[in-house]
Structure formats: C-alpha cells, structure tokens
Structure 1
C-alpha cells in the first residue's frame, strides 16, 4: 500500500462530505476516512458515492463486541469494497480473528477487494494519566500499545492505528511490514483540539508511520485544497 495521506471526512451529512471532496481535482485520487458520524447518517450509500468519485475508503467504525457479532458485522463491511477498516484490539484475539474472517467472507461473497483490518491500540486522545486513573490499566502507555499490537499481529490483523510516537516500538515488537496508520497529526502552529499524543506530518514520516489521518487541519482550513497540499508535501518530503 502506498503511504497515504487520509482525509477524515468528519461531517454530519453526506452532501457536505461530497461537496468537500469535489473541491479537489480528480487527478488527486483522494484517500478518505468515513467515520461513525458520517456512516451512521448516510450508511453504505456514502461509500458507493465516494468510490464513484474515485476515492479510496478507510471505513473507521471501530468494531468491538463479542466475536460472533463482530464477525457478522465485518462480513457486511467486507462486501463494501473499502480499503481499510478498524476494530478494537481490546476485544481480544478471538474477536480480532473473527473480524478478519468476516472481512474475507464478505469480500469473497461480493467479489471485491479485501479490506485491510487495523486494530485500535490506545486512542490518541488517551493520556498516561487517563490510562491509569480512569481505565485502571497499571502499565505504561507504551507497554499497553506494544502488547495490543503484538496481540493484533498474532490474530492476523494487518496493522494498527496508533500515534506516530509509538510506531518505532510497534515495528520492533511486530515486524517492519506491520502497518501503522497514525492519526493525531497537527502542524506546529495548530490547535491540538482533543488529541493528546500528536505529531507533525514530517515527524510521522521520520518515525516510520505507513500512513497518516488528518481531519480538522484540512477540513476546517480556509483553503482545504491548499492545506491538503501543504500537509502532503511535508508528509512526503524525503
């Protein structure tokens, strides 16, 4: 997979998301993320409409339930022909294996590409303090992320969603080919919003991220296309 810059389409309505995408030249071949807000509002229709515009799709629904339920949901997702989708590593090995199986079953049934499955380790809004005091996890954030990444790799998941700060540890704990897609990307001059473990585009590249997810710095910019091009140049700089 080419190292993508994925735009998070965190919009409340399909029409807004589609109008946003149409600002970009068709030659750009955007990779976009459809999260819970947009998918729950628009459903599978938004996936088909974005694909018709030439977009690659990261469907970010973060499945987390008992293995049977996750497998059935993943089978439905697998039929959509999206490129990436997510589950929570905290659901455990059986649940992650069920998700991988469901995605494969759905893709085969619909005769479409099989989505790569990425596991959520710890959200980039989670701090060390929150991990200990609220989640009652008595290990370091780095150790928790490494453990969940190793569990995901053992479950035949394709990679993880993690802060770029953790990528070197994850690659060392799994393999160089284990995908690490990083949200929490900000320019140094921008607000961190509700993100905690943030990194610049260039920093994520240097740390070895295989792709980055950027939302508000692009979608809420005065000139989204120019902001996208700026971040893309920083991300792809050698």
Structure 2
C-alpha cells in the first residue's frame, strides 16, 4: 500500500497535470509556422490551436480568429477538442475524489471508503491521461506527416508547438498520479495482512479472554452468594 507521502506526491502531480491539460487545451500554439525555405525571410508568424488561429504580423500586431464551424474541421482536430475537454473534466473529478481518498485527510469515511475513493480517483486520472495523450500524439503525427509531404508548399508547413509538449507532459503527470492512487487502494493482499495475527497477539488475546472469563465467573459467584 502506498504511503501517505506518496499519496500527497500523487495529488500534487495530478494537480499539475490538470492545470497543464487545461492550459494546453486553451493555448493557440498547437502548431506553428515552420522557418524553412522562403519562410525564413517572412516576417509573419502563424499559430493554430484547437479553438483559434493566430497571426503575428511584422508590425507587431497580433490577431486571432476563432474556429466557429466544427464540421469544417479535420477529424484529428475534432477528436483533439473532444478528448482534451473530457480529459480536463475527468481529471477535475479525480481531484475531487482524491481529496476523499487521502489517508492524511480526516474526512472521507473509514479506510475502506478512502480506498474506494482513491481507486476511483486513480481511474479518473489514468483515463484523463490517456485522453490527453491520444490527441497530442495524433495531432503531432498529422503535423509531421504534412511537414514531410513534398506536395505541401513551404509557406504552409507547420511544426508542433508548445501546447503539444505541455499536453504530453500533462498526460505523463496524470498517468503517474493515477497509478499511485490505484496502488493505494487496499486489495486482497492488504486484507489478508489485516487478518493475519502474530503468535504474541494470539497469546495476548487468549490472556485477555481468560481474564474476562474469570471476571464473569467472579461476578456470577457474587450474585449467587
């Protein structure tokens, strides 16, 4: 069973993962214009995210355009949107359950209830990590494939942006936190350990039981007299 300090570490990792996944979802730099060929002398930088496209002009102006139409977006972008939002929701739910499953917390019920809460929160973190990892990987694959395609003009080539790396790191943090919380759930082995009694404890229990029997006999004798 994981110690209390490991649970606290997992909670901190999960909190950082939730913040990272949320930031990655909102950032507009999932892919940025690549500085290749004639693009090197171009004084305009373009960024594309899940929700908006932004352009940085040579004059210092910065403008963004929201992607209102969902059906016009490619499949990998639609999937990335849905998966990242679900990842943030599940990770937030996992944080709420984790506060109940922490051993150091006084709320959340007994050890069995805390174990179930820890297992539920760990499952939410693992699912959130997978949902964050899949769109980041798919998005990166699409960007690299388009970059290596010779039919795509150099002015339209992009490379993975900072938001993708934030999503990868957040997915790793959520997966690590989820595994720790799942390991902190008491299983059959822990139950067997709780039921196992050492010989010294057995002897002490026998002595206590004998003393109780003697006291009961004395009380019965006194009542009889």
| TM superposition score category, shorter chain reference | under 0.3
Richer in helix (by share):
2
TM-score of the superposition, structure 2-length normalised? 0.22
Richer in strand (by share):
1
Mark the structure with the bigger radius of gyration: 2
Higher relative contact order (CA 8 A, sep 6+): 2
